[in-house]
């Protein structure tokens, strides 16, 4: 995760508004915002994928125990 900002355009009335999200945080669509620098870094993308896999495994275990996602 870095200090770069990622630009998104979200609907606002009949137009769109530009919003900025820090790299690594949740974007307006509910996904992880990843800047071009991190996207081009294979090591960083592997780290992000490992983190996503760990979250999926945790949520699967919690769901199987009847706790639901956290």
Q: Which domain holds residue 46?
A: 5-64
- The distance in angstroms from the start CA to the end CA of the chain is 22
The reported pLDDT for the residue numbered 22 is 97
The reported pLDDT for the residue numbered 36 is 95
Q: 69 lies in a domain?
A: no
Using left for φ > 0, alpha for ψ between -120 and 50, and beta otherwise, residue 18 falls in: beta
The reported pLDDT for the residue numbered 13 is 95
Phi first, then psi, for residue 22 (nearest 5°) are: -65, 140
The 10 Å CB-count burial string (b at 16+, else e) for 6-36 is: beeeeeeeeeeeeeebebbeeeeeeebbbbe
> Based on the structure, what is the number of domains in the chain?
1
9: confidence class by pLDDT, cuts 50, 70, 90: very high
C-alpha–C-alpha distance, residues 27 and 50, integer Å: 19
pLDDT digits (tens, 9 = 90+) for 11-70: 999 999 999 999 999 999 999 999 999 999 999 999 999 999 999 999 999 999 988 776
Q: 43 lies in a domain?
A: yes
């Amino acid at each position: 995760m870095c200090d770069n900002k990622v630009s998104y355009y979200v609907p606002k009335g009949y137009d769109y508004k530009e919003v900025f999200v820090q790299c690594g945080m949740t974007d307006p669509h509910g996904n992880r915002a990843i800047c071009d620098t991190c996207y081009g870094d294979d090591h960083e993308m592997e780290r992000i994928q490992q983190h996503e896999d760990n979250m999926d495994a945790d949520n699967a275990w919690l769901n199987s125990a009847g706790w639901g996602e956290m």
